[in-house]
């Protein structure tokens, strides 16, 4: 899988599937499920590291988790999903050189094939232009951009005609800068469907309706594991409840009077 394959999928009308992973275990699940792309999203700041927003996760942590994800895949590299990693907050907002170093490190030291970054402000476009010219594939991200939570909140975006025009302009700019695809998060379905027609690059939606070229989901949300489910990403199974019930069953079984310990007692230390 290469980023350009996603454009082929769009052209042939084959829906694109993107799932997040944050460690070897989740990566192996997502690979077995057959996802085309594995996103090491900065949502891991909230899902795995317990932060309230995506802002605190560092480049070092993103690298560590990306390496773990890439170690989780089985089989020949040709059968493995495409890995894209989120550039974390402040790794691309402080100058183009720092951004190239950050993205280059992620590609160089994990098996990732590209990076995703949020927004399309002029400074971000400059960064994207340089990354693409340096051979680093870039996925864009518009609409609800969680790194801008303090400006935008977690609300649905692009609700009035003015902001819809702005988002369309920005999506076209991302395409012109060489992004190989764009994520549209929590925007009206009609707008996402219109952008799918407007753009030659694949439009990947989350909370953006069914009219996109593909869909991305946070795997922990789909599995019902996250304590706070986003309203636009319903769970497929009550995973958290299933896990807690199974573990509760084990705990209460262990506490039953007369229950025999399941683990082997530690043998006494040998005399030296
Ligand atoms: O960080 C993430 O998981 C993401 C997806 C929600 C698209 O950016």
Catalytic site residue from 185, 190, 194, 210: 185
Atom of ligand 1 nearest to the CA of 43: 1
HEC profile of the chain = CCHHHHHHHHHHCCCEEEEECCCHHHHHHHHHHCCCEEEECCCHHHHCCCCCCCCCCCHHHHHHHHHHHHHCCCCCHHHCCEEEEECCCCCCCCCHHHHHHHHHHHHHHCCCCEEECCCCCHHHHHHHHHHHHCCCCEEEEEECCHHHHHHHCCCCCCCCHHHHHHHHHHHHHHHHHCCCEEEEECCCHHHHHHHHHHCCCCEEEECCCCCCCEEEECHHHHCCCCCCCCCCCCCCCCHHHHHHHHHHHHHHHHHCCCCCCCCCCCCCCCCC
pLDDT tens digit at each of 272 positions of the chain: 899 999 999 999 999 999 999 999 999 999 999 999 999 999 999 999 999 999 999 999 999 999 999 999 999 988 899 999 999 999 999 999 999 999 999 999 999 999 999 999 999 999 999 999 999 999 999 999 999 999 999 999 999 999 999 999 999 999 999 999 999 999 999 999 999 999 999 999 999 999 999 999 999 999 999 988 888 999 999 999 999 999 999 999 999 988 765 555 556 666 65
> Candidates 19, 116, 187, 221: which one to mutate for ligand 1, based on the most atoms within 8 Å of Cβ?
116
Distance from the alpha carbon of residue 245 to the mean position of ligand 1, in angstroms: 29
Q: What is the pLDDT of residue 1?
A: 84
* Residue 118 annotated as catalytic: no
Atom of ligand 1 nearest to the CA of 204: 7
Q: What is the pLDDT of residue 258?
A: 83
Q: Whose CA is nearest to atom 3 of ligand 1?
A: 41
Pocket of ligand 1 (CB under 6 A): 20, 39, 41-43, 86, 183, 185, 206, 216, 218
* Predicted model pTM: 0.93
């Amino acid at each position: 899988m290469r980023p350009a394959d996603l454009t082929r999928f769009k052209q042939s009308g084959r829906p694109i599937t993107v799932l997040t992973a944050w460690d070897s275990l989740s990566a192996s699940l997502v690979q077995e499920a057959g996802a085309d792309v594995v996103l090491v999203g900065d949502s891991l700041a909230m899902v795995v590291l317990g932060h309230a927003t995506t802002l605190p996760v560092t480049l070092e942590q993103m690298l560590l988790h990306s390496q773990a994800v890439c170690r989780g895949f089985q089989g020949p590299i040709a059968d493995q999903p495409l890995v894209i990693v989120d550039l974390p907050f402040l790794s691309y907002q402080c100058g183009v050189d720092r951004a190239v170093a950050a993205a280059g490190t992620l590609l160089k030291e994990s098996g990732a094939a590209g990076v995703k970054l949020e927004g399309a402000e002029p400074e971000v476009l400059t960064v994207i232009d340089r990354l693409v010219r340096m051979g680093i594939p870039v996925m864009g991200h518009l609409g609800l951009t969680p790194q801008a939570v303090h400006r935008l909140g977690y609300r649905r975006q692009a609700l009035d005609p003015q902001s819809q025009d702005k988002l369309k302009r920005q999506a076209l700019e991302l395409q012109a800068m060489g992004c190989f695809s764009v994520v549209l998060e929590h925007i009206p379905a009609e707008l996402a469907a219109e952008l799918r027609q407007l753009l030659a690059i694949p439009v990947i939606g989350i909370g953006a309706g069914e009219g996109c070229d593909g869909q991305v989901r946070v795997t922990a949300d789909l599995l019902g594991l996250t304590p706070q489910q986003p309203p636009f990403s319903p769970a497929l199974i009550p995973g958290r409840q299933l896990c807690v019930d199974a573990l509760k069953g084990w705990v209460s079984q262990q506490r039953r009077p007369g229950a025999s310990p399941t683990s082997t007692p530690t043998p006494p230390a040998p005399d030296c």
